[in-house]
């Protein structure tokens, strides 16, 4: 079980070696926060796959969003994308996701563990923010906002069978033989188990450099999440929320920021298809 | 200068050399200090590039125009020369000091004298939080990285490699040549600012007495 405290991250520190980090599926955290009438930027819990069990100390209001899958309150099934009132001592269980990978638990008032550089996001690469949650941890909750939840349930679009990822040409697209053609070809790619918050490592068609770019070196450049880097083996690496601040391989394409959340929900072995965007 | 779109929220400025990067980085920083480039939230210089990133979509063309309109060339880092110099006390007893002396044909004392004589400037970071690539190294002290990196370099290790000097802010694997150690913390998230050395900061090394 991996459960990390995440908010919307810490922009503005990349020049001293700290990336933004933040919820891998920012849209899902925002939705969970809106359901409990938190500011969208409040810290919640990002659960990888599932297996999180929380017991309330005093009554709390929570919402789950992101991946699809079973969840329970005191042994009774509860819905996701809904406002859940948990009584004092109530036990909330986030079961294993059946579709998608990351579930967000928002609690009214927000997770109030100490912030680092203005954010409560756990950045596993930079070693900042709260440690991964462990059995027995007590998670402080902040004061409830003045606003009250407006809806009981949020409509969410059905989960796609294949995640389609729109990409823009990256700064080094012209280093590659067919530009974006191989990357965006039908058949597509699948994520490998070596994927995490730092990057999705993909398996699929090898992207070849143009002959004149074969021996070309690249001094490290600043990176963004969604940068599709092509290392020497030709298999794309797509950077995620905890990406290194700089990287040394050419960037063929960049995922549109609107698609970063669905990228973070792709399970190892699941297919994805890149499409050229404009 | 090439200004390339880098996803929805950033541009990557490609430049010819590190001197151009430093000049443009300083010019953008100065402009941001005056309230311009308000959409830029992260500014990441590297060896040949400067990344400018906003929050949410940026207007790539407008940002490119604004970058091109900045005063270019070596005049820009003048503001840096007026900034205070951070002095770092170093005990020169690093495990690679004698090897650096052999590689450069200098005595260990001369290596120390040349390392402490220069004034350095932080060109860029990126390797780990608080790590700063310092330029200004005496050309006679240019040595390649170790053939194989050490599994663990201690925090505070003062190192040189190629045209750069640096101080490791925390323990990490590393391949630079270690010539000394510095007690002063370089990275502390509870300190304001958290990084002692940021791009543009000037540095001198002083031998601990």
According to the model, what pLDDT value does residue B209 have?
A: 82
According to the model, what pLDDT value does residue B81 have?
A: 64
d(CA B88, CA B167): 10
Q: At what angle do helices B108-117 and B97-104 cross, to 10 degrees?
A: 90
d(CA B118, CA B204): 7
Nearest to B198 among A16, A116, A258 (CB): A16
Q: Is the dihedral of CA A203, A207, A208, A212 positive or negative?
A: negative
Instruction: Please tell me the distance in Å from B70's CA to the nearest CA on chain A.
Output: 20
Spell out the alpha helix ranges (H) of A61-163.
none
Chain A residues within 8 A of B8 when measuring between CB atoms:
168, 254, 256-258
Residue A264, CA atoms < 13 Å, CB-side half-sphere: 31
Which CATH architecture group holds A163-276?
Beta Barrel (2.40)
Q: Closest by alpha carbon to B5, among B69, B46, B62?
A: B62
Q: Is the dihedral of CA A173, A174, A176, A178 positive or negative?
A: positive
According to the model, what pLDDT value does residue A188 have?
A: 87
d(CA A43, CA A35): 14
With an 8 Å Cβ cutoff, are A220 and B14 in contact? no
Contacts 24+ apart (CB under 8 A), A187-191: A188/A162, A188/A271, A188/A272, A188/A273, A188/A274, A189/A236, A189/A271, A189/A272, A189/A273, A189/A274, A190/A269, A190/A270, A190/A271, A190/A272, A191/A266, A191/A267, A191/A268, A191/A269, A191/A270, A191/A272
A118 at interface of B, judged by CB pairs closer than 8 A: no
Nearest to B189 among A11, A117, A256 (CB): A117
Q: Predicted confidence band at A158 (pLDDT cuts at 50, 70, 90)?
A: confident
Q: Predicted confidence band at A182 (pLDDT cuts at 50, 70, 90)?
A: very high
According to the model, what pLDDT value does residue B80 have?
A: 63
Instruction: Please tell me the distance in Å from B4's CA to the nearest CA on chain A.
Output: 6
CB B114 within 8 A of CB B106: yes
According to the model, what pLDDT value does residue B76 have?
A: 47
Q: Is the pLDDT of residue A160 over 60?
A: yes
Q: Is the pLDDT of residue A154 over 90?
A: no
Q: CA angle B140-B47-B180, nearest 5°?
A: 45
Interior/surface letters B178-188, b for 16+ CB within 10 angstroms, e for the rest: bbbbbeeebbe
Q: What is the mean pLDDT of residues A15-19?
A: 96
In order of their start, the domains of chain B are 2-79 (3.30.1360.40), 83-207 (2.40.100.10)
According to the model, what pLDDT value does residue A145 have?
A: 96
d(CA A103, CA B162): 46
CB A50 within 8 A of CB A94: yes
What would the pLDDT profile of B21-58 be if each residue is shown by its tens digit? 999 999 999 999 999 999 999 999 999 999 999 998 99
d(CA A81, CA A67): 10
Number of H helices, E strands in chain A: 2, 18
What would the pLDDT profile of A210-221 be if each residue is shown by its tens digit? 999 998 888 999
Q: What is the mean pLDDT of residues A248-252?
A: 95
According to the model, what pLDDT value does residue B77 have?
A: 57
What percentage of residues in chain A have a pLDDT greater than 90?
A: 87
Q: What is the mean pLDDT of residues A94-119?
A: 97
What would the pLDDT profile of B56-106 be if each residue is shown by its tens digit? 899 999 999 999 999 866 544 555 666 789 999 999 999 999 999 999 999
Q: Which of A220, A222, A260 to mutate to test the interface with B (most CBs of B within 10 A)?
A: A222
CATH 2.40.100.10 boundaries in chain A:
163-276
What would the pLDDT profile of A34-91 be if each residue is shown by its tens digit? 999 999 999 999 999 999 999 999 999 999 999 999 999 999 999 999 999 999 999 9
The token pair at A124 is 């596993």
According to the model, what pLDDT value does residue B38 have?
A: 95
The string of DSSP letters for A171-183 reads TTGGGBTTTTTTT
d(CA A101, CA A261): 11
Give the phi and the psi of residue B192 in degrees, each rounded to 5.
-120, 110
Q: Predicted confidence band at A151 (pLDDT cuts at 50, 70, 90)?
A: confident
What would the pLDDT profile of B151-204 be if each residue is shown by its tens digit? 999 999 999 999 999 999 999 999 999 999 999 999 999 999 999 999 999 999
d(CA A92, CA A47): 13
């Amino acid at each position: 079980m991996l459960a990390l405290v995440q908010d919307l991250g810490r922009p503005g520190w990349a020049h001293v070696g700290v990336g933004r980090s933040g919820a891998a599926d920012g849209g899902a955290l925002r939705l969970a926060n809106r359901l409990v009438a938190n500011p969208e930027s409040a810290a919640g819990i990002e659960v990888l796959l599932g297996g999180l069990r929380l017991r309330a100390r005093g009554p709390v209001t929570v919402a789950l969003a992101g991946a699809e899958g079973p969840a329970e309150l005191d042994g009774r099934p509860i819905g996701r994308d809904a406002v859940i009132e948990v009584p004092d001592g109530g036990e909330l269980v986030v079961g294993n996701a059946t579709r998608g990978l990351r579930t967000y638990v928002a609690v009214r008032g927000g997770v109030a563990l100490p912030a680092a550089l203005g954010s409560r996001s756990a950045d596993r690469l930079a070693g900042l923010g709260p440690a991964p949650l462990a059995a027995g941890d007590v998670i402080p909750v902040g004061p409830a906002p003045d606003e009250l939840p407006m809806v009981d349930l949020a409509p969410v679009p059905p989960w796609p069978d294949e995640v389609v990822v729109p990409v823009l040409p990256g700064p080094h697209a012209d280093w590659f033989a067919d530009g974006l053609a191989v990357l965006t070809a039908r058949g597509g790619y699948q994520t490998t188990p070596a994927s995490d918050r730092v990057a999705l490592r993909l398996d699929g068609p090898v992207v070849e450099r143009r002959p004149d770019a074969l021996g070309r070196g690249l001094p490290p450049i600043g990176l963004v999440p969604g940068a599709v880097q092509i290392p020497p083996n030709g298999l794309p690496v797509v950077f995620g929320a905890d990406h290194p601040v700089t990287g040394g391989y050419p960037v063929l394409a960049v995922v549109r920021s609107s698609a970063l959340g669905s990228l973070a929900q792709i399970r190892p072995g699941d297919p994805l298809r890149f499409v050229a965007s404009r | 200068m090439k200004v390339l779109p880098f996803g929805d929220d950033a541009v990557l400025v490609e430049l010819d050399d590190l001197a151009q990067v430093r000049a443009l980085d300083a010019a953008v920083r100065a402009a941001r200090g005056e309230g311009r480039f308000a959409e830029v939230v992260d500014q990441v210089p590297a060896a040949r590039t400067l990344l400018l990133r906003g929050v949410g979509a940026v207007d790539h063309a407008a940002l490119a125009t604004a970058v091109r309109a900045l005063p270019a060339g070596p005049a820009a880092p003048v503001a840096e020369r007026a900034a205070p110099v951070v002095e770092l006390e170093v005990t020169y007893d690093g495990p690679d000091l004698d090897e650096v002396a052999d590689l450069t044909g200098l005595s260990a004392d001369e290596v120390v004298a040349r390392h402490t004589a220069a004034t350095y400037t932080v060109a860029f970071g990126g390797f780990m939080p608080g790590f700063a690539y310092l330029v200004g190294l005496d050309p006679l002290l240019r040595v390649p990285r170790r053939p194989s990196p050490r599994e663990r370099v201690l925090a505070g290790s003062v190192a040189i490699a190629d045209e750069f000097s640096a101080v490791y802010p925390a323990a990490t694997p590393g391949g630079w040549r270690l010539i000394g150690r510095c007690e002063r913390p370089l990275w502390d998230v509870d300190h304001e600012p958290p990084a002692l050395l940021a791009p543009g900061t000037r540095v001198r090394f002083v031998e601990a007495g």
